[in-house]
Structure formats: structure tokens, C-alpha cells
Amino acid sequence: MERDKIRIGITHGDINGVGYEVILKTFADPTMLELCTPVIYGSPKVATYHRKAMDLPTNFSIVNSAAEASYNKLSIVNCGEEEVKVEFSKPTPEAGKAALDALEKALQEYRDGFIDVLVTAPINKHTIQSDSFHFPGHTEYIEERVGEGKKALMILMKDEFRVALVTTHIPVKDIASSITKELIKEKLAIFHQSLKQDFNIDCPRIAVLALNPHAGDGGLIGTEEQEIIIPAIQEMVAEGIQCFGPYPADGFMGSGSYTHFDGVLAMYHDQGLAPFKALAMDDGVNYTAGLPIVRTSPAHGTACDIAGQNDISGQGIASEESFRQALYVAIDVFRNRQLDKEVHANPLRKQYYEKRDDSDKLKLDSIEDEL
């Protein structure tokens, strides 16, 4: 395998959705193979079924592991049972098991060093549930499997527009009680570090959205802003993180205020994702920050309402643009992390003068003291 190219592991997601369609459409463009070495974790037979159903020209090679993947080719690692029935738009246990098998194989090969980054096609969060998967989504599962004890942060992004979440996949009735000063500070710290390390922003500016309408109106519509959010912001500012707010969420996106910041921290899932998807539905990317692994996915779901449907030319109608952008982001973040490691690999020792009597003496701190 060519070691100078980034090796991208791709999980096929729910086989009854649009996962294979957007993957195969993306790599129908041969220039994509110049950017990376892509390896699909899934089923060659299912991929062939989708290719024929969508009338797609994409070719692929079958390999036993990403370690066997060839330069300038799309490869597929067979991860499960040979015979899996595809039923477009239908949630089935077989599809859920196939999605989990692919995800587990990909994470194992990531741990073995065979792939550099992971891009996941959408899953059905209900059918994938099993004894070994009891999570509300990809993010939480990946955090446990390869997070090495670190906490994940969900970031939805398009170009310079980035929205992160304090709480993710929890019921609305539990949101207020789940938001604490400590949790907000934790998410702000991860967001700040990700913007610096993953997106190469030296001094990122983060906007923090309020929880209540009109930012609580001074306590008339809830006290979470005064008691939790503002103290969290103030403490993080004291630590050197540029965060501002809390801003009322209702007009923040529509007014374009988000364009003045490098990132926006929303308090809960729909507060951040509803306006984000209204502005960037077709080419938004879900990025999991804070973990050793670089993982992205398209911002849409399984799209079962259009899975298996063709236009008048006989090709599928799902757009691959969000998946394509997920690949680009994974490549960029991986390269930015490599650059960050190189920049900080051999830091210069600090110099200072120690006053002794009437003479100045130059001293150098030891490297051990600085690390």
C-alpha cells in the first residue's frame, strides 16, 4: 500500500439506506483516488447490488484487510455474512448487524494501524442496537472503543461554519438538568483545542448560545444563564479561551452573527443542528472532535425516504456532496494534526536572566522542566 497517501476507512452504514449510493458516486470520480487510499468496510455483494440498482460505473477490488489495499483503487473488506438481503428503505435487524460488523472491523483495523482516519456512512440507530452496541449513535460508541479515556465533541461544519453541542442525543425533557458549568467548560476546552489543532486557528473565537428564550431575559425566563452558562464562560475566559455570550439562539444564525466567530457552542442537539442543516444540509459534515481518531460522516441520515429511487436517467437521486465533503475534512484534519505534531515536536527552551549581585546570568530551563 502507498504509505504517502492517507488511508481512509469507510464503513458502509445501513445497507438499506443511501450509504453505498453516496460512496460509489463519490469514487466514480477517479480524481478522488489521487487524494487518498479508500477502503470500504462492508460487503462486496451488497456493494455490487447497489451499483447495479443505481446504474453506477464505480469499480472496486476485494481485499481481506486494509493492509492489502492497492494504490489508486477503491477496495472493499468483507466484514460479515456472505448473504445479506437488501431491502431499500426498510429497517431490518440484518441491516443493523451488517452496519455494526463493518464498524467493529474498521475500528479494529484502526487500532492495528491499517487505516489513518474513519468516515462513516449513516446508520439506523434503532436496528444497530445489540448486546455490544447500546449507544445513541456513532459518536458515543467510537468514544468508548477508541477514545482512550478522552471525551468526544460533536461538531457540525461547512467550511468556516462550525457548530458544536454541549448535549447530544438525550430527550428534550432532560436537557436543562444535564447542563452544568463543568460540562460547558469541558466542551469549550475541547472545542478550543480542536479549532487550534484540527483547523489550524491560532486564537479561535467561540460564541456560546443561551439555553432559554431571549437568553433568559435577566432571569425572567429561566436562570440557567445567570447560574450556569455565564459563570462557565467567565471561568474559561480567565483561562485564556476567547468565548463570548450567551447569545439568544433564535436570531443568531439568521442574522449572520455566526460569521464573526470560528465556532458556535449550542446547548442541545436541535438548537444547533436545526439552523445548521437549514443553511448547510446538502454539504455539511459531522466531525467528532476530541478523540485520537479522526472521524467524520455526512451530516444527513440514512435517507430511507429516497433510498433505491432513480431519476429519469436510471441513476439514484441521493446527493453525494456531503459524503465527499466528509472525506475532504478527514484528510485536512489528519494533515493539520500531523503539522501540529511537527511544529511542537522540539520546542525551544525558555531563556531568562537571573539577577545575581551586579551581574546578569543567562539561564536555560531544562527540557525536562518544560515537558
Q: Among residues 262, 243, 255, 290, which one has the least CA distance to residue 162?
A: 262
* Residue 364 or 210, more confident: 210
Q: What SS3 state is found at 287?
A: strand
Banded model confidence at residue 370, pLDDT cuts 50, 70, 90: very low
Model confidence, pTM = 0.90
Q: Among residues 318, 285, 314, which one has the least CA distance to residue 303?
A: 318
Rg (CA), the chain: 23
* Domains recognised in the chain with CATH numbers: 1-150+291-371 (3.40.50), 161-279 (3.40.718.10)
Answer whether residue 354 shows pLDDT above 70.
no
Answer whether residue 276 shows pLDDT above 70.
yes
Q: How many helices (H) and strands (E) does the chain have?
A: 11, 14
Q: Among residues 119, 180, 192, which one has the least CA distance to residue 153?
A: 192
H or E element that contains 110: helix 93-111
Per residue in 142-158, pLDDT (tens digit) is 999 999 999 999 999 99
Q: For 165-179, 250-264, 342-356, which range has the lowest pLDDT when averaged over its residues?
A: 342-356
Strands 294-298 and 242-247: unpaired
Mean pLDDT of 116-127: 96
Per residue in 72-111, pLDDT (tens digit) is 999 999 998 778 899 999 999 999 999 999 999 999 999 9
Answer whether residue 371 shows pLDDT above 70.
no
What are the C-alpha distances in Å from 13 to residues 26, 299, 302?
A: 15, 13, 8
